[in-house]
């Protein structure tokens, strides 16, 4: 069994390695953050499994992460006493990329270094980032509960393959040994490593320890002692009070939970007391993940119960339309052995979800309604990235429909651009005297909407029309009939009633025209009997001779096309 075996990396891993080494070099310090983050996850997983099986701790209850270096051997080692890996786990976790959407991700890479560096950050580089500074990585690991003889050594130079063999290993957990590349000796310093840890990993709730260094008066140099010191603050960031957390710490914590490289747009951090007690620290990313439309994607909330990590992607804690929100919720009420099934039915979870939804909407409103340009711009960014997802909320979350409606943004005939920046409130404020409805047109794309013949009469009268071109729009519109009492009306439907927008003289003229064309209309109705339900004289067109309209209560042409395309 202890034979050494050489295995090839999955194609995607090879691509990833190549890309990472070349595009992330200017950010090379992040390797330490990623490896410490994995060590912290491993401790979380052990704590969680040990809830039902305390024996997993053996005689080693103090979870920690140790970082050390060896100047002679030119190595840096990150050790944890977390869950560890079996041989099979090492093969599948370190030899393949299991993330959903991996294929799509590689399809999106452009070959342009800077652009790809941003994408790769979003994808989450994790373990492989070690190869930015190392030309060989050795992983010695032993699964909690396994025998000393069941240790595993995984080793690779980060090219096409890796080797795996069985070893003796003292103690459970994982040692990641980085054999530094030529020219990376700067990293072999206590000061350097400490400063990287404090910069990127201060928020990690486990102690990160290093051996102490002291000045030796006789030797006239600093020497490394045997005793250990804790380098980080080692308390859960979300449990600290807001006033003790710097913006940088909030940002680094976001990067830790989200695997994102970019700073978030905004966050909200609260301790909620009352019927249900919990702490929430929630972030809105600045960029939509590449797999946002993946139906199997579960959302980004980590659930803790009294500081104990319970699970990633706790989708019950956030409605589906807010699946882009990242962060942590730490409950004081849920049982430690809570499962996804229990979460589904729990009343506490329902309370948390409702409370968190309100917080997220509040965070968005703060950006949307802000006076400062910086916040306004953030809302514009938010809308570009996540507006289509937020629209799902109109159908999904009846309780918050009104708040959501205020957050919607559309393209409009009032602006000569496809940018979605007009709110219902903006529209209402610009309504013509006598206008009591909000007019919109739906189409497959902006050009089609803008050039719709249905808009002609509105242009002539100077009445604004919202241009709705997202796939989700038709569906959304079936859940929203008005905004603050102003009916939403499609310009393509039924006998368009412009009400008070039409003056008396026009009305009279229209009636006369209708009478004079009655005969022609009658003939056309007969001719088109099995093709059109009705034929009418219209005043909505100014340039086009004729157009098709849907009946008042019928599905619009666009929705019909969509349903057909979906095979219905």
Interface ranges with Mg ion (CB under 5 A): 38, 126
Q: Which does 174 bind (CB under 5 to 8 A by kind): Mg ion, ligand ADP, none?
A: ligand ADP
Q: How far apart are CA 466 and CA 409, in angstroms?
A: 10
Taking CB atoms, the residue at the shortest distance from ligand ADP is 126
Taking CB atoms, the residue at the shortest distance from Mg ion is 126
The residue (of 83 and 349) whose beta carbon lies closer to ligand ADP is 83
CB of 9 to ligand ADP, least distance (A): 13
Q: Which does 94 bind (CB under 5 to 8 A by kind): Mg ion, ligand ADP, none?
A: ligand ADP
Is 83 in contact with 46 (CB distance < 8 Å)? yes
The residue (of 48 and 382) whose beta carbon lies closer to ligand ADP is 48
CB of 211 to ligand ADP, least distance (A): 20
Beta-strand relationship, 437-442 and 486-490: parallel
CB of 305 to ligand ADP, least distance (A): 21
SS (H, E, C) 332-347: CCCCCCCCHHHHHHCH
Neighbours of 399 (CB within 10 A): 10
CB of 185 to ligand ADP, least distance (A): 25
**Both structure tokens of 114:** 């800077």
Q: How far apart are CA 265 and CA 142, in angstroms?
A: 40
Please choose, from the candidates 202, 20, 179, the residue with its C-alpha nearest in 3D space to the C-alpha of residue 97: 20
The residue (of 38 and 558) whose beta carbon lies closer to Mg ion is 38
Q: How far apart are CA 174 and CA 56, in angstroms?
A: 15
* Cα atoms in the Cβ-side hemisphere of radius 13 Å centred on 378: 21
CA-CA-CA-CA torsion sign (497, 501, 503, 506): negative
The residue (of 92 and 515) whose beta carbon lies closer to Mg ion is 92
SS (H, E, C) 465-499: CEEECCCCHHHHHCCCCEECCEEEEECCECCCCCH
Neighbours of 216 (CB within 10 A): 11
Would you tell me which residues interact with ligand ADP (CB under 6 A)?
A: 34, 38-39, 41-42, 80, 82-85, 93-94, 124, 126-127, 174, 259
CB of 176 to ligand ADP, least distance (A): 6
The residue (of 35 and 498) whose beta carbon lies closer to ligand ADP is 35
Alpha carbon distance, N-terminus to C-terminus of the chain: 56
Task: Quote helix, strand, coil % in the chain, to nearest 5.
Answer: 40, 20, 35
The string of DSSP codes covering 386-428 is HHHHHHHHHHH-GGGHHHHHHH--BEETTSSSS---B-HHHHH
Is 200 in contact with 210 (CB distance < 8 Å)? no
Q: Which does 93 bind (CB under 5 to 8 A by kind): Mg ion, ligand ADP, none?
A: ligand ADP
The residue (of 94 and 272) whose beta carbon lies closer to Mg ion is 94
The residue (of 326 and 450) whose beta carbon lies closer to Mg ion is 326
CB of 404 to ligand ADP, least distance (A): 32
CB of 176 to Mg ion, least distance (A): 11
Q: Which does 474 bind (CB under 5 to 8 A by kind): Mg ion, ligand ADP, none?
A: none
Q: Where are the alpha helices (DSSP H) in 259-346?
A: 340-345
The residue (of 174 and 435) whose beta carbon lies closer to ligand ADP is 174
Beta-strand relationship, 161-167 and 151-156: antiparallel
Q: Which does 346 bind (CB under 5 to 8 A by kind): ligand ADP, Mg ion, none?
A: none
The residue (of 312 and 470) whose beta carbon lies closer to Mg ion is 312
CB of 129 to ligand ADP, least distance (A): 8
Q: Which does 207 bind (CB under 5 to 8 A by kind): Mg ion, ligand ADP, none?
A: none
Q: Residue 5: which residues within 8 A CB-CB, separation 6 or more? A: 163, 164, 165
The residue (of 28 and 406) whose beta carbon lies closer to ligand ADP is 28
| Order of strands, sheet of 75-80, starting from the edge strand that comes earlier in the sequence | 5-8, 161-167, 151-156, 134-142, 173-180, 75-80, 65-70, 208-216, 221-230
Q: Which does 479 bind (CB under 5 to 8 A by kind): Mg ion, ligand ADP, none?
A: none
Q: Which does 80 bind (CB under 5 to 8 A by kind): Mg ion, ligand ADP, none?
A: ligand ADP
Which 8-state DSSP code applies to residue 97? -
CB of 382 to ligand ADP, least distance (A): 25
Is 439 in contact with 464 (CB distance < 8 Å)? yes
**Both structure tokens of 487:** 């009916």
CB of 126 to Mg ion, least distance (A): 4
Q: Which does 351 bind (CB under 5 to 8 A by kind): Mg ion, ligand ADP, none?
A: none
Q: Which does 151 bind (CB under 5 to 8 A by kind): ligand ADP, Mg ion, none?
A: none
Residues in a beta bridge with 50 = none
Q: Which does 171 bind (CB under 5 to 8 A by kind): Mg ion, ligand ADP, none?
A: none
The residue (of 126 and 145) whose beta carbon lies closer to Mg ion is 126
CB of 35 to Mg ion, least distance (A): 8
The residue (of 20 and 236) whose beta carbon lies closer to ligand ADP is 20
The residue (of 177 and 407) whose beta carbon lies closer to ligand ADP is 177
CB of 286 to Mg ion, least distance (A): 21
Polymer length in residues for the chain = 568
Beta-strand relationship, 266-272 and 308-311: unpaired
Please give the C-alpha separations between residue 290 and each of 18, 266, 473, in angstroms, as whole numbers.
Answer: 20, 20, 22
CB of 441 to Mg ion, least distance (A): 47
């Amino acid at each position: 069994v202890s034979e050494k075996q050489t295995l090839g990396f999955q194609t995607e891993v090879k691509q990833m390695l190549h890309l990472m080494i070349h595009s992330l070099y200017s950010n090379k310090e992040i390797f330490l953050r990623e490896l410490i983050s994995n060590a912290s996850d491993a401790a979380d997983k052990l704590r969680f499994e040990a809830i039902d099986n305390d024996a997993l701790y053996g005689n080693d209850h103090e979870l920690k992460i140790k970082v050390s270096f060896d100047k002679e051997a030119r190595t840096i080692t990150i050790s944890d006493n977390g869950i560890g890996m079996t041989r099979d786990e090492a093969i599948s976790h370190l030899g393949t990329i299991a993330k959903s959407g991996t294929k799509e991700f590689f399809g999106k890479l452009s070959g342009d270094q800077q652009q790809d560096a941003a994408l790769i950050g979003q994808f989450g580089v994790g373990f492989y980032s070690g190869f930015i500074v190392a030309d060989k990585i050795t992983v010695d690991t032993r699964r909690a509960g396994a025998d000393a003889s069941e240790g595993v050594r995984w080793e690779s130079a980060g090219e096409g393959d890796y080797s795996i063999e069985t070893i003796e290993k003292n103690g459970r957990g994982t040692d990641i040994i980085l054999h530094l590349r030529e020219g990376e000796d700067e990293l072999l310093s206590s000061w350097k490593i400490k400063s990287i840890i404090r910069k990127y990993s201060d928020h990690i709730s486990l102690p990160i320890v290093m051996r102490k260094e002291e000045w030796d008066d006789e030797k006239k140099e600093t020497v490394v002692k045997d005793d250990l010191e804790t380098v980080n603050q080692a308390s859960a960031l979300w449990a600290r009070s807001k006033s003790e957390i710097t913006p940088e710490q909030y940002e680094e914590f976001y990067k830790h939970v989200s695997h994102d490289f970019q700073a978030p747009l905004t966050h909200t951090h609260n301790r909620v007391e009352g019927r249900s007690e919990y702490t929430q620290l929630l972030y809105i990313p600045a960029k939509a993940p590449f797999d946002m439309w993946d139906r199997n994607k579960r959302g980004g909330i980590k659930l803790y119960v009294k500081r104990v990590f319970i699970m990633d992607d706790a989708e019950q804690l956030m409605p589906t339309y807010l699946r882009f929100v990242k962060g942590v919720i730490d409950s004081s009420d849920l049982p430690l052995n809570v499962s996804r099934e229990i979460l589904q039915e729990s009343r506490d979870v329902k309370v948390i979800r409702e409370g968190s939804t309100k917080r997220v909407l509040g965070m968005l409103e703060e950006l949307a309604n802000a006076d400062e340009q910086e916040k306004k711009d953030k809302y514009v960014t938010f809308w570009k990235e996540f507006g289509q997802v937020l629209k799902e909320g109109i159908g999904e979350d009846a309780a918050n429909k009104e708040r959501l409606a205020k957050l919607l943004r559309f393209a409009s005939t009032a602006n000569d651009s496809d940018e979605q920046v007009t709110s219902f409130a903006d529209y209402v404020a610009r309504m013509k005297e006598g206008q009591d409805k909000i007019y919109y047109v739906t189409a497959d794309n902006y050009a089609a909407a803008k050039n719709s013949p249905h808009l002609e009469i509105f242009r002539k009268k100077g009445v604004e029309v919202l241009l709705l071109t997202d796939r989700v729009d038709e569906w959304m519109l079936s859940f929203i009939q008005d905004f603050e009492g102003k009916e939403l009306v499609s310009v393509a439907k039924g006998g368009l009633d412009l009400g008070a927008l039409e003056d008396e003289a026009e009305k009279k003229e229209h009636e006369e025209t209708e009478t004079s064309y009655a005969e022609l209309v009658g003939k056309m109705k007969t001719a088109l009997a099995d093709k059109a339900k009705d034929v009418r004289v219209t005043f909505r067109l100014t340039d086009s001779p004729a157009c098709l309209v849907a009946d008042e209560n019928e599905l619009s042409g666009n929705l019909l096309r969509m349903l057909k395309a979906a095979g219905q």
